[in-house]
Structure 1
Amino acid sequence: MRAPQSKAKILIVDDRPENLLALQAVLPALDQTLVTATSGEEALKALLTDDFAVILLDVQMPGMDGFATAAHIKRRERSRDIPIIFLTAIHHGPHHAYRGYAAGAVEYASKPFDPWVLRAKVSVYVELHLKNIQLQDQAAQLRLKLQDSPGADPTEVLAELRARLAAVEEGVAAITQGLGETPTDTTNRVSVDRLEDQIRGLRRAFDALAHPGSDDATSLPPQG
């Protein structure tokens, strides 16, 4: 089983060094791992080997621009669910923003950005990413228990797993309380709903493990 992941990776893509430096100065307060790329091509290479909680993507870049980069990201199975925040200094009105959302963006921020607002937006996606990883780990532990000790008394392991799941539930509840009714918040709500479904599935699996005769004892929520 993989080691618990305490930090998420955030991918920052911008062809201008000064913009990368500005973002690197704002985001360390989140205490996550920052990865930079200076082009769309470089970003796509990073996405081949690493998993990211969120991508901050500049729209205006030479060669492959932000729209084209986002399209490639969304076509790949490994990266298609990673939220993308577009950053741009250009104001072309609603049509420009709609193009960004059509390319797969969940946020559209204009430069110069408000550091506090940007950190708050990024932190939501980081928390969702880490909670999803926690849920996958809980499911993996439960699968191992079922496979390795089918006849063992599950009381002790269930108590530990339920305590861990309760901590995840509290974190998801805190995220839910901060959501409003804007289009972006609706996108976040979909992610939270998916996590809550996984939590309910794990709870059912825990109950089934406590009662081995149940048909749900071998039915676990999917990972990822």
Structure 2
Amino acid sequence: MPHKANILLVDDRDENLTALEAILTSLDQNLVRANSGEAALKALLEGDFAVILLDVMMPGMDGFETAAHIKQREKTKDIPIIFLTGAGIDRHQVFRGYASRAIDYLTKPFDPWVLRSKVEVFVDLHHTKQRLRDQSRMLQRDLNPESGATAGSVAGQLSRRTAEINANLGLLRDRIVTEERESDQKTIEAVRDLDRSVARLTTLVEAIHGPE
């Protein structure tokens, strides 16, 4: 069973953070609070996060500036960001958001079901990436000449695990379509990237295992 993912909630108002926690608690993941951009950057140094929910309007360092810092760091640049913004966002703000490479926007007051569903997709992507990293580490370890493992036994384990990941990716693709996320292009691209990673892993496994 995968480890719980960390989800970073960033808002300068405690009542907003409490509301986000109430919406997302059913996902059974680790919800981490930050009440400023500075606090968010500090939290990101201390852990690995699946997704960031980031309020746009905050005193001091606002959401866009915080996102820019996040995307400049090698460790955090690929973490998806969902901006939470008030009604009446103007074109300049939209441009700043895309310049910060945010994944998505939600305008307050937002639909709790929509927010929870979007976050759940990114949590699932995060868990899938974790499994791929685990497969890579296992392959490197078991192919070490000192491990004593045979190529056939390693390939057999990897084949089963790769099949599990492919099945999970299939379910994730189905959810993106059935829950009407066709317009969420960056999410679709992230799934395609994972597809390519799994395909490379599958090819490597087949090369190790050899013809039947």
Please list the CA deviations of residues 140-162 of structure 1 after superposition, one character each: whole Å capped at 9, or x if unmatched: 11111111358753333322221
Deviation string 1:112-168 (CA, Å, 9 cap, x unpaired) is 111100000001111111101101101111111111358753333322221111111
Separation in structure 2 between the aligned mates of residue 137 and residue 16 of structure 1, nearest angstrom: 38
SS of residue in 2 equivalent to 1:60: coil
Residue type at the aligned position of 2:201: L
Contact 2:6 2:49 in 1 (8 A): yes
Cα distance between partner residues in 2 of 1:173 and 1:149: 36
Does the 8 A contact of 1:86 with 1:109 survive in 2? yes
One-letter code of the match for 1:181? E
Structure 1: tracts of 5 or more residues without a match = 213-224
Aligned twin of 2:43: 46
Whether the aligned pair in 1 keeps the contact of 2:143 and 2:151 (CA below 8 Å) is: no
2:206 corresponds to which residue? 207
Question: How big is the shift at 1:82?
Answer: 0.3
Consecutive aligned runs of 4 or more in structure 1 exceeding 6 Å deviation: none
Tell me the secondary structure at the aligned position of residue 105 of structure 1: coil
1:8–1:126 contact (8 Å) kept in structure 2: yes
> Is this contact kept in 2: 1:165–1:199, CA < 8 A?
yes
Contact 1:97 1:108 in 2 (8 A): no
The AA in structure 1 aligned to 2:59 is P
Distance 1:201 1:74 in 2: 27
User: Are the counterparts in 1 of residues 81 and 102 from structure 2 also a CA contact under 8 Å?
Assistant: yes
Letter in 1 for 2:15: E
Instruction: Provide Cα deviations, 1:159-204, integer angstroms capped at 9, x if missing partner.
Output: 222111111111111222224431xx21012211111111111111
Aligned length: 207
CA distance in 2, matches of 1:64, 1:151: 54
From 15, 19, 37, the counterpart of 2:16: 19
What is the 5 A alignment of 1:6-155?
A: 6-148=3-145, 152-155=149-152
Q: Report the AA paired with residue 171 of structure 1.
A: N
Q: Aligned partners of 1:32 and 1:11: how far apart in 2?
A: 11
Structure 1 contact 66–86 (Cα < 8 Å) conserved: yes
Out of 201-210 and 93-102, give the one that drifted further: 93-102
Asked whether the equivalents of residues 47 and 79 of structure 1 are also in contact (C-alpha less than 8 Å), the reply is: yes
8 Å Cα contact 2:156-2:209 kept in structure 1:
no
Please report the RMSD computed on the Cα atoms of aligned residues, expressed in angstroms: 1.8
TM-score when scaled to structure 1?
A: 0.86
Counterpart amino acid of 1:142? L
Tell me the distance in 2 between the aligned counterparts of 1:198 and 1:208.
16
In structure 2, relative to structure 1, the CA distance for the partners of 1:109 and 1:146 (3 Å cut) is same
1:181 is aligned to 2:155 = no
